[in-house]
Amino acid sequence: MIRFDNVSKTYPGSSGGLREVSLHIETGEMAFLTGHSGAGKSTLLKLVGLLERSSRGQVWVNRHNLTRLKSRQIPLLRREVGMIFQDHRLLTDRTVFDNVALPLVVAGVRHQEIRRRVQAALDKVGLLKKARALPLTLSGGEQQRVGIARAVVSKPPVVLADEPTGNLDPDLSREIMNLFQQFNQVGVTLLIATHDLALIEPLGLRTLVLDQGRLVNDSGKP
């Protein structure tokens, strides 16, 4: 589902980025990406969501070769990749419902269908009652769940999360991880960047460790 072949990403005048990373995450897998800040976790996720393009090497997502993707195809790829951010990136002047509906609206889904699917997604994250609320009136954990509902509402095959529990207390974090595992059970491929090792260790899932842009450990490799 996600495949990196010797991928490097360099930023001019900066030591960040990725160096020669190769990895393969199968369809239906759930994997964690860890490492110190600046190790390249965000960069790797950005390459998958095409927020950045690789400097060298090839990236494959859902059988699309991102290196060869034309600019006007980027939106179509992003509809197949749900993204969750530490700072939620919600539209503060729109209701929770409108925020979650956005991926369906941009994809041109019919009105009744949008309603049905947004309600299902909000129900899944336990926020159905807050559909009419504005994001800033919600707690941090609730806002993150709105972001998660938005990422999964269009049923993308791949979901990426960048430090989704960064600002949350352990209980809320476990709740969020629980949600992710539920998505994984219905076949969604997840790649989650986090530095909260205590949270992910008990789950016993594949963990990729980045250090200074290199993949130094991959627990899933045979």
Contact set with other proteins (CB under 8 A): 3, 46, 49, 51-52, 60, 62-65, 72-73, 75-80, 83, 89-91, 102-103, 106-108, 110-111, 150, 154
Give the integer Cα–Cα distance in Å for 4 and 91.
32
Nearer to other proteins, 84 or 215 (CB): 84
Token pair of 201 as six digits = 């260790």
Give the integer Cα–Cα distance in Å for 20 and 56.
8
Q: Whole-number minimum distance, CB 111 to other proteins, in Å?
A: 7
Q: Whole-number minimum distance, CB 32 to other proteins, in Å?
A: 22
Tokens 């993150």 -> residue? 144
Token pair of 144 as six digits = 């993150």
Nearer to other proteins, 4 or 209 (CB): 4
Q: Whole-number minimum distance, CB 110 to other proteins, in Å?
A: 7
Give the integer Cα–Cα distance in Å for 14 and 44.
16
Nearer to other proteins, 95 or 175 (CB): 95
Question: C-alpha 102: how far from its chain's center?
Answer: 16
Nearer to other proteins, 27 or 185 (CB): 27
Q: Whole-number minimum distance, CB 67 to other proteins, in Å?
A: 12
Q: Whole-number minimum distance, CB 78 to other proteins, in Å?
A: 4
Question: C-alpha 160: how far from its chain's center?
Answer: 2
C-beta separation of 2 from 196 below 8 A:
no
Amino acid, single-letter form, for residue 138: L
Nearer to other proteins, 54 or 207 (CB): 54
